[in-house]
Amino acid sequence: MPAAFSSPLSRSASVPCPTADRYLAVRRRSLELAAPLTDEDCQVQSMPDASPTKWHLAHITWFFETFVLERFETAFKPFDASFRVLFNSYYEGIGERHPRPQRGLITRPTLDEVKRYRAEVDQRICAVLAAHPDDAELHELVTLGLHHEQQHQELLLTDIKHALSSNPAARAYAQHWPLRAVQPLPMQWLACEGGLFDLGHDVTLDGPFCFDNETPRHKTYTAAFELASRPVSNGEYLGFIHDGGYRRPELWLSMGWDWVRSEARNAPLYWRREPGSDAAAWRHHTLQGVVDIDPHTPVCHLSYFEADAYARWADARLPTEAEWEWAARHFAAQPSARDNLADRGAYHPLPAADSQTHGPLQMFGDVWEWTQSSYSAYPGYKPLPGAVGEYNGKFMCQQYVLRGGSCATPGGHVRASYRNFFPPDAQWQFSGMRLAR
Between residue 413 and residue 432, which ones bind a copy of itself under the rule CB under 8 A? Answer: 424
Segment contacting a copy of itself by CB under 8 A, of 12-20, 59-67, 71-79, 370-378: 370-378
Compute the least distance from the CB of residue 2 to a copy of itself, in Å. Answer: 17
Compute the least distance from the CB of residue 428 to a copy of itself, in Å. Answer: 14
Does 92 help bind a copy of itself (rule: CB under 8 A)? yes
Query: Applying CB under 8 A, which of residues 27, 30, 41, 146 lies at the interface with a copy of itself?
Result: 41
Does 46 help bind a copy of itself (rule: CB under 8 A)? yes
- The answer to whether 373 and 401 are in contact (CB under 8 A) is yes
Closest to a copy of itself by CB, 60 vs 322, is 322
Segment contacting a copy of itself by CB under 8 A, of 56-64, 105-113, 131-139, 339-347: 105-113
Does 255 help bind a copy of itself (rule: CB under 8 A)? yes
Q: Please name the residues in contact with 16: beta carbons below 8 A apart, sequence gap of 6 or more.
A: none
Between residue 177 and residue 206, which ones bind a copy of itself under the rule CB under 8 A? Answer: 196
Compute the least distance from the CB of residue 180 to a copy of itself, in Å. Answer: 29
Closest to a copy of itself by CB, 98 vs 344, is 98
Between residue 69 and residue 88, which ones bind a copy of itself under the rule CB under 8 A? Answer: 80, 82, 85-86
- The answer to whether 295 and 237 are in contact (CB under 8 A) is no
Query: Applying CB under 8 A, which of residues 102, 188, 266, 277 lies at the interface with a copy of itself?
Result: 102
Does 218 help bind a copy of itself (rule: CB under 8 A)? yes
User: Total residues contacting a copy of itself (rule CB under 8 A)?
Assistant: 63
What is the contact surface with a copy of itself in residues (CB under 8 A)?
Answer: 38-44, 46, 54, 80, 82, 85-86, 90, 92-93, 98, 102, 104-111, 163-164, 166-171, 196, 218-223, 249-250, 252-257, 372-374, 376-377, 379-380, 390, 394-398, 424
